[in-house]
Amino acid sequence: MNPFRAVPTMKDGDFALAESTAILRYFARTYKPDLYPMSKQTHIDWACDNFTTGGLYKDAATTVYPCLGFGHLGDNAKEVGAALKNKLQKFADTFLKGKFIGGDRLSIADYKIAPFFYAWAHPTLKSKCGVEAPERIVQFNKDF
């Protein structure tokens, strides 16, 4: 299905698609447009892109994935974990002006980021990697 042999990949009828944000956009546009409202798409896209290219996803690979058993904790896991609080706070200050990224209602960006926010607030990540989730991220998790 995916010529690049990567995950995630999805198939809907004869249509196949890869990359998490592209898949979320497709499903929202096709089946649940209220998760990707036209008036908020730029903000939602920016949040998704920033998560991926702004370093948070790379930090997840260093902290979350090893704590879940996918690889080993590197020597810099505690250093990355300690720096994450400031990065997460900056993300929250920029994108979480309302209850969720798209405002008061969930959007595709929230679904993309929620698993990582939940993991970063988990006590295991604090004990193994020194991650301390800011209160705004903890509140997001409760609201989600």
Residues 31-89: tens digit of each pLDDT? 999 999 999 999 999 999 999 999 999 999 999 999 888 989 889 999 999 999 999 99
Q: What percent of the chain has pLDDT over 70?
A: 100
pTM above 0.85, yes or no: yes
Q: What's the rounded mean pLDDT across residues 134-139?
A: 98
16 sits in which H/E element: strand 15-18
CA angle 23, 26, 30 (to 5 degrees): 145
